[in-house]
Amino acid sequence: MQNNKLLTKIEGIKFFLDTLEDSKIISVDIEFMRRNTFFPEPCVIQISDGHNHGCIDLTLEVNYKEIFKSIFDNNKIIVLHSCRQDLEILYMILGYIPEKIFDTQFAASFLGYKYQIGYAEVMKEIFQIEIDKTEKMTNWKKRPLTEEQIKYALNDVIYLNDLHKNLEEKLVKSKKKIYFREEFKNYLNDIEWEPKTNMAWKRIKSINGLEKITYNVAKTISAWRERKAIDLNLPRNWILSEKEIIEVSKNFSINNKIMLPKNNRILDIEKDSSEILSDIENISTNKENIDEIPRMKIKNNSEYKKIADDLYEYYKMIALKNNISYQIVSPKKMILSYLKNNDKNSRLINGWRKDLIDVNKITEMTKDFFHANH
């Protein structure tokens, strides 16, 4: 059954979901908008079990957690492609992440396909199916949706069960399923499903190059910006851009004043400046909250870069040999963290990667570097 109408009535939604009750595998995709908000705005969810396909309106004033209970609360395998944003929305709706997730994009990375390959591209490569993307820029909040828009949305799920089956079989045949499952579990565990305002400073790419006072002020302003963006449900860069945070922080270190951009129509300059100043003063009175700037304690930076490059090339060779995307096998951040901390528990040398690498070779490559720097 393929329903080319948007399901907007509770009775119709429940009737469709009942047809999926006994399905062990369902495919899910979500259309949303996030142009003018901090949080994504769920608009449409497409669900398929490979035979029955439907689009459900997510803009209704109903209890979706209760409606979807039978779909996401049991042992069904939930198939998605590039799951990050869809899972963020499911977390908003359900309050948890479904247990059995299979991401076809992530799985494809373990099978020699291009890293972060798009749904249309992988469908063409494997099944020679052309996915129409003409409705990609649809405003999914607008009602009514056309039949063409609904067909476009359904196209993102009606083949996903077949894609899951194809990739699952290849993972098993290549003996990589355990690698995929371990790495995907780590991937999900690393995601913070709720915004943590005290960690917002990590989004400021240039923060570690600042002087100590400016650094701590920038951290404080970043946390304030995050809270403000959440409270107003506006994009954080509408509150202050990264460049503006740095400029305000530098000005404060010189003038001891908060000077917010006067042309910002969202801010109440006087009130918001006072709030930020109060946050800074609260941190200043508690020395435990003042952080030292994280510095790389590397005696020979050129040697550090050389070792990092050598490790990256070695892991890239391992990735190519095993037909796995090298961006999965050797993330640069993982390599840099391993070298910086001499981390014996690093995923770089443990878990599924340990099955593929020569640990003695890694030890030989890094022993002089670790001896000199730690």
pLDDT digits (tens, 9 = 90+) for 215-268: 999 999 999 999 999 999 999 999 999 999 999 999 999 999 999 999 999 999
Asked if pLDDT for residue 139 goes beyond 80, the answer is yes
End-to-end, the C-alpha distance of the chain in Å comes to 64
Task: Write down the number of H helices and E strands in the chain.
Answer: 18, 6
17, 67 contact by CB (below 8 A):
yes
pLDDT computed for residue 226 by the predictor: 97
Q: Does residue 186 lie in a domain region?
A: yes
198, burial (CB in 10 Å: exposed 0-12, middle 13-18, buried 19+)? exposed
Domain count of the fold of the chain: 3
pLDDT computed for residue 75 by the predictor: 84
Tens-digit pLDDT profile for residues 118-137? 999 999 999 999 998 788 78
* Domain CATH number, residue 336: 1.10.150.80
Mean pLDDT of 78-102: 96
- 185 and 276 housed in the same domain: no
pLDDT computed for residue 133 by the predictor: 79
Q: 3-class SS at 100?
A: coil
Residues 223-233: b if buried by 16+ CB within 10 A, e if exposed: bbbbbbbeeee
Tens-digit pLDDT profile for residues 19-77? 999 999 999 999 999 999 999 999 999 999 999 999 999 999 999 999 999 899 778 99
* Beta carbons within 10 angstroms of residue 237's beta carbon: 13
Q: Does residue 294 lie in a domain region?
A: no
Asked if pLDDT for residue 328 goes beyond 70, the answer is yes
Mean pLDDT of 281-305: 63
Mention every residue, 6+ apart, whose C-beta is less than 8 A from residue 338.
311, 346, 348, 349
Q: What angle do CA 105, 324, 162 make, to 5 degrees?
A: 35
User: What's the chain's Rg over C-alpha atoms?
Assistant: 24
Asked if pLDDT for residue 316 goes beyond 90, the answer is yes
- 184 and 253 housed in the same domain: no
Please say which residue of 222, 254, 289 terminates a domain: 289
275, 224 contact by CB (below 8 A):
yes
Q: Does residue 296 lie in a domain region?
A: no
- 228 and 369 housed in the same domain: no
Task: Single out the residue of 309, 318, 314 nearest to residue 369, CA to CA.
Answer: 309
- Segments forming the whole domain that contains residue 178: 2-190
- 183 and 219 housed in the same domain: no
- 65 and 168 housed in the same domain: yes
Q: Does residue 113 lie in a domain region?
A: yes
pLDDT band at 285 (very low <50, low <70, confident <90, very high): low
- 255 and 279 housed in the same domain: yes
Mean pLDDT of 187-194: 93
Q: Does residue 295 lie in a domain region?
A: no
